[in-house]
Amino acid sequence: MQVFLSLGSNLGDRRLTIKKAISGLNKTAGHVIKQSSIHETKPVGKTDQPMFLNCCVEIETDLPPLKLLAACQKIEKQLGRLKSEKDLGLPRTIDIDILFYGNETLDTPKLKIPHPRIKEREFVLKPLAEIKH
Ligand code: GSY
């Protein structure tokens, strides 16, 4: 299945963390086919925090959606991501969001596909436009 993911980091060595996350995806989630350039973006939501680096990747995966989510969360954890960062809107070492999973839709408490906030997030739309036509 062709899947598009969004990655963001605004804590620590942001570029290195994104590189490690993409390498982790390649090893455990699926083959990375395309990667956008990395964009420096202003924080959206809680604005009094450091600038983000964001990018998008396309992967080819055999994992079903919830298993893919678990693989992404494992990579986030390995790279030092704390659950409280997400819950409290704090700076985060790495965030990996599933944007599209082929043409499939999913609406569960754990995971919604397509990601419900794509359209309002320029930090997703710009890198995504580089790799999704
Ligand atoms: O999952 C999104 C995390 N996030 C970001 C982000 O990745 N980039 C920018 N620019 N702002 C953000 N606000 C949140 S939450």
Instruction: Establish whether 92 is a catalytic residue.
Output: yes
Q: CA 127 to CA 56: how far, in whole Å? A: 6
Q: What percent of the chain has pLDDT over 70?
A: 97
| 47 Cα–ligand 1 center, Å | 10
Instruction: Establish whether 97 is a catalytic residue.
Output: yes
pLDDT of res. 13: 97
Instruction: Establish whether 15 is a catalytic residue.
Output: no
Give me the chain's average pLDDT, please.
95
Please say whether the beta carbons of 25 and 54 come within 8 A.
Answer: no
pLDDT of res. 85: 66
Average of pLDDT values for 53-76? Answer: 98
pLDDT of 69-106, one tens digit each?
Answer: 999 999 999 999 877 766 677 888 999 999 999 999 99
Q: CA 43 to CA 107: how far, in whole Å? A: 27
Q: CA 130 to CA 44: how far, in whole Å? A: 21
Tell me how crowded residue 11 is: count the other CB atoms within 10 A of its CB.
18
CB distance 45 to ligand 1 below 6 Å: yes
- Model's pTM, two decimal places? 0.96
Average of pLDDT values for 12-16? Answer: 97
pLDDT of res. 75: 97
Could you say which DSSP state residue 13 is in?
S
Please say whether the beta carbons of 52 and 43 come within 8 A.
Answer: yes
